[in-house]
């Protein structure tokens, strides 16, 4: 296992190139792959995602990535979900009539309670506590979001950071070795890169 090698799961939905470039920028050796053997060699795993969660879960399941993620998390390998990839970590979504998620975190993904969706832009994230992945970041810290849905974790202790849009929503989650961001860190300037660098530092 190479600690600097970070597997970016490629299941056909996600802004893979910008995530790849951001990880490269912070000193990682990113690899776009859905090959189980290559993922098992990585020191950490990134689950990106854009679009609708039910369609994404179809692809994730077809490739067996849901079971692979459960296996790697069981082995203590750090995993981070980005944007819709964070939503996939949860048990279910109400989007498009509903669908199951990967289930690494307890809770459901629900539509934002806001007059206008999707929301697109910068939101200040307020940290609930200190964390390895938020080390060196201001409180609050602005991240770039583009979302209509957000998770509602069943366990309050899984919530690391919240933001406001029509009301409070969960923007960052943490249940080591599982992490998730509703935002796009690769589009969030130096602070987004700092968070990704902190995550890469968790690799074995």
Give me the active site residues, please: 83, 184, 186
How does 164-185 read in b/e, with b if 16+ C-beta sit within 10 Å? ebeeebbbbbbbebbbbbbbbb
Q: What's the rounded Cα separation, in Å, for the pair 52 and 58?
A: 10
Strands in 113-167 per DSSP E: 119-127, 141-147, 149-153, 159-164
Best CA proximity match to 114, nearest among 83, 150, 88, 74 = 150
Cβ atoms 99, 92 nearer than 8 A:
yes
How do beta strands 42-47 and 107-111 pair? Answer: unpaired
Strands in 23-118 per DSSP E: 29-33, 42-47, 79-82, 92-93, 99-100, 107-111
């Amino acid at each position: 296992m190479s600690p600097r090698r970070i597997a970016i799961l490629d299941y056909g939905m996600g802004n893979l190139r910008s995530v790849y470039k951001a990880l490269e920028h912070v000193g990682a050796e990113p690899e776009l792959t859905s090959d189980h053997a290559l993922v098992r060699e990585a020191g950490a795993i990134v689950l990106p995602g854009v679009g609708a969660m039910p369609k994404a879960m179809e692809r994730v399941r077809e490739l067996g990535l849901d079971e692979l993620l459960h296996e790697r998390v069981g082995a203590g390998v750090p995993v981070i979900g980005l944007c819709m990839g964070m939503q996939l970590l949860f048990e279910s979504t109400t989007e498009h009539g509903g669908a199951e998620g990967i289930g690494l975190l307890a809770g459901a993904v629900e539509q934002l309670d806001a007059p206008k969706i999707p929301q697109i832009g910068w939101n200040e994230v307020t940290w609930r506590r200190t964390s390895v992945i938020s080390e060196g970041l201001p409180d609050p810290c602005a991240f770039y979001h583009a979302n209509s849905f957000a998770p509602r974790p069943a366990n309050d202790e899984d919530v690391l950071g919240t933001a406001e849009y029509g009301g409070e929503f969960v923007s960052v989650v943490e249940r080591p070795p599982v992490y998730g961001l509703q935002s796009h860190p690769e589009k969030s300037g130096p602070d987004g890169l700092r968070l990704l660098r902190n995550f890469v530092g968790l690799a074995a």
